[in-house]
Amino acid sequence: QKLLKLESNLRDLVGLIREGESFLDVGCGTGGFRHLIPSVRYSGIDIDPATIEIGRSLASETFTCEDLFSMKSVYDFVLCSRVLMHVAPLSDAMQCLLNAARRMLVLFVPIEEHDCCELIENYGQHFYFRRFSEDTLKSFGACSIARHEPYSTVVYAR
């Protein structure tokens, strides 16, 4: 059901991913994208150890409990879906993601006219939810942007 919100974004990926590529899913959760892209060498990272354990129990792919700021490996294709709106500092996170992407970095992020950030409470926990302007996203390098609601697809080709 969560993937339904990303239907337009997933259509944007068609044709971008090459068979046999190394593919990193940043913020992979239990690895919901792995079934949609079976022809790649899938790896997923997430900071939640519980979801990583579930991912490991469901599939043979590589799931690692890791923070995007500590990534050391390089992958042909990096996908970061619905993560950056909760991460700070943005410039450091983007540099880590760009460094990890040999050929392409794809983001699924919310876009607004101007950058904004709000503090949200959910089940007693507080977290930040950031929306990005196109100018901010373009400040990290040449990219193409496909506007969708609730998340847009941003592609940085290397």
Q: Are 23 and 77 in contact (CB under 8 A)?
A: yes
pTM: 0.93
- Condensed to tens digits (0 to 9), the pLDDT of residues 60-99 reads 778 999 999 999 999 999 999 999 999 989 999 999 999 9
* Angstrom distance (rounded) from CA 102 to CA 43: 15
Reply yes or no on whether the pLDDT at 22 is more than 60.
yes
Beta pairing, strands 22-26 & 116-122: unpaired
Three-class secondary structure of residue 37 per DSSP: coil
CB-based contacts of 89, cutoff 8 Å, min separation 6: none
